[in-house]
Amino acid sequence: MTPRYGANYVPSTGWFYSWLDFSADAVRRDFADLAGLGLDHVRVFPVWPWVQPNRGLIRRRAVDDLLTTIDIASEFGLGVAVDLLQGHLSSFDFLPSWVLTWHQASVFTDRTVRDGIAVYAAHVAKAVATRDNVFAITLGNEVNNLWPANPTTPSASREWASELLDVVRGAAPDVLCLHSVYDDAWYAPEHPFHPADAVDLGDLTTVHSWVFNGTSRLDGPLGPATVSHAEYLVDLAASLAPGRGVWLQELGAPRPDIPAADAAEFVRRTLAAVAGHPALWGVTWWSSHDIDRGLLDFPDREYDLGLFTVDHEPKPIALALAEHLRSTVTPPVPVELPCPVDLRAEPRRRDEVAPGSAFHTEWVRNRPARIVHP
């Protein structure tokens, strides 16, 4: 299978705040950058509380702006994946006033809030599914980052995602319906979102590879553990659900873990490693564009993740990505490595497969390796 390649769309002007001042021309200019690289899709992120500021109000104009964004992608031949519940974006959580303070309620466990989210999810999913170039709908970006502000339990988290996926599937039966979690779900023993959720729920497994999770401290920026983390996470996910595709839905080159001077080489090595994985469905780079430093309070690494600057200049990582798209990857002949933990049955032992664990070290040493789950 030839993987799809795309970008997570971070607007070059005004970041996601640009939804509040929507400009079709600005979106068109940004998408021209991405199509020019040879990418085939974008992942887009409406901001939940601006679309549904009241539980009883879904703003028509906000949905229209999302549809316009999708139609502009179509002008460039770009497919679109829509994430619904933002929710979490680059350290910021966007939550409506109807779940905060005097109305405090967990988005995961409060029945009334869940019903409100279901109305939102159904409405937006149905609207975007009218567009032929929409190929996937994800519940929301790294929804597990909405915890701990929103209390949940492993069973509640799974039920929440499962229920909401049914809602989305009902509204958009012809697109991929997906769950999305940050990698704490794979590595953090007590995290209330489990690996089994990632591989059981939805139509593909999605993984997000960020080497600032500790991996880059092992041997980064260009060491074997660092440049193989994306492949490792894809392999780990594939091992738990053989035969199911894995979408590397986020991959980025964060500073200071990956200094600017090493970023292009990080891209080359990381993509060369992961591209040959037979389970790989696609790769979506985070992110399309940098963030203007006039916008404050982001973690420093978030500002420079773009393939393009805010002035539309392609950065070396963009050129490295484009170069990869023109290359041919010969699938490796891997060795098989038994996983020491059944992640489905023993999520509390997730730390035994985390970056830096004995098993991960062995996997890196034996590359190319394929994990075999018990």
DSSP H helices, the chain, are: 24-37, 48-51, 60-75, 111-128, 154-171, 184-187, 195-200, 216-219, 224-227, 229-240, 260-275, 316-325, 358-365
One of 26, 67, 149, 272 touching a copy of itself (CB under 8 A):
149
Shortest distance (Å) from residue 120 CB to a copy of itself: 12
Name which of 55 and 373 has its Cβ closer to a copy of itself.
Answer: 55
One of 9, 11, 12, 15 touching a copy of itself (CB under 8 A):
15
Shortest distance (Å) from residue 99 CB to a copy of itself: 9
Main-chain phi, psi angles of 85, to 5 degrees: -105, 80
Name which of 245 and 254 has its Cβ closer to a copy of itself.
Answer: 254
CA distances (Å), 346 to each of 13, 108, 222, in order?
45, 23, 32
Mark the segment that binds a copy of itself (CB under 8 A) among 129-137, 144-152, 191-199, 248-256. Answer: 144-152
Tell me the residue length of the chain. Answer: 374
Name which of 110 and 346 has its Cβ closer to a copy of itself.
Answer: 110
Q: Is 59 in the site for a copy of itself (CB under 8 A)?
A: yes
Name which of 92 and 135 has its Cβ closer to a copy of itself.
Answer: 92
Size of the site for a copy of itself (CB under 8 A): 33
Name which of 55 and 123 has its Cβ closer to a copy of itself.
Answer: 55
Q: Cβ distance 144 to 154 under 8 Å?
A: no
Q: Is 300 in the site for a copy of itself (CB under 8 A)?
A: no
Contacts of 29 (CB under 8 A, 6+ apart): 12, 312
Among positions 62-121, residues that touch a copy of itself (CB under 8 A) are 62, 91-95, 97-98, 100-103, 116
Please give the helix or strand (H or E) that residue 81 lies within, else none.
strand 79-83
Among positions 19-38, residues that touch a copy of itself (CB under 8 A) are 20-21
Q: Cβ distance 208 to 142 under 8 Å?
A: yes
Dihedral-angle region of residue 31 (phi above 0 means left; psi in -120 to 50 means alpha; beta otherwise): alpha
Name which of 22 and 135 has its Cβ closer to a copy of itself.
Answer: 22
Name which of 103 and 365 has its Cβ closer to a copy of itself.
Answer: 103
One of 14, 140, 202, 347 touching a copy of itself (CB under 8 A):
14
CA 201 to CA 34: how far, in whole Å?
30
Quote the DSSP letter at residue 76: T
β-partners of residue 209 are 251
Strand bridging mode 176-178 / 205-209: unpaired
- Which tokens sit at 208? 């997000």
Name which of 116 and 245 has its Cβ closer to a copy of itself.
Answer: 116
Shortest distance (Å) from residue 182 CB to a copy of itself: 12
Name which of 145 and 226 has its Cβ closer to a copy of itself.
Answer: 145
Dihedral-angle region of residue 327 (phi above 0 means left; psi in -120 to 50 means alpha; beta otherwise): beta
β-partners of residue 314 are 308
Shortest distance (Å) from residue 150 CB to a copy of itself: 9
Shortest distance (Å) from residue 102 CB to a copy of itself: 5
Contacts of 220 (CB under 8 A, 6+ apart): 211, 226, 257, 258
Among positions 192-251, residues that touch a copy of itself (CB under 8 A) are none
One of 54, 130, 153, 155 touching a copy of itself (CB under 8 A):
54
Q: Is 358 in the site for a copy of itself (CB under 8 A)?
A: no
One of 294, 311, 326, 330 touching a copy of itself (CB under 8 A):
294
DSSP string, 176-215: EEE----THHHH-TT-SS-HHHHHHSSSSEEEEE-GGGTT
Which residues here bind a copy of itself, judged by CB under 8 A? 14-15, 17, 20-21, 50, 53-57, 59, 61-62, 91-95, 97-98, 100-103, 116, 145-146, 149, 294-297
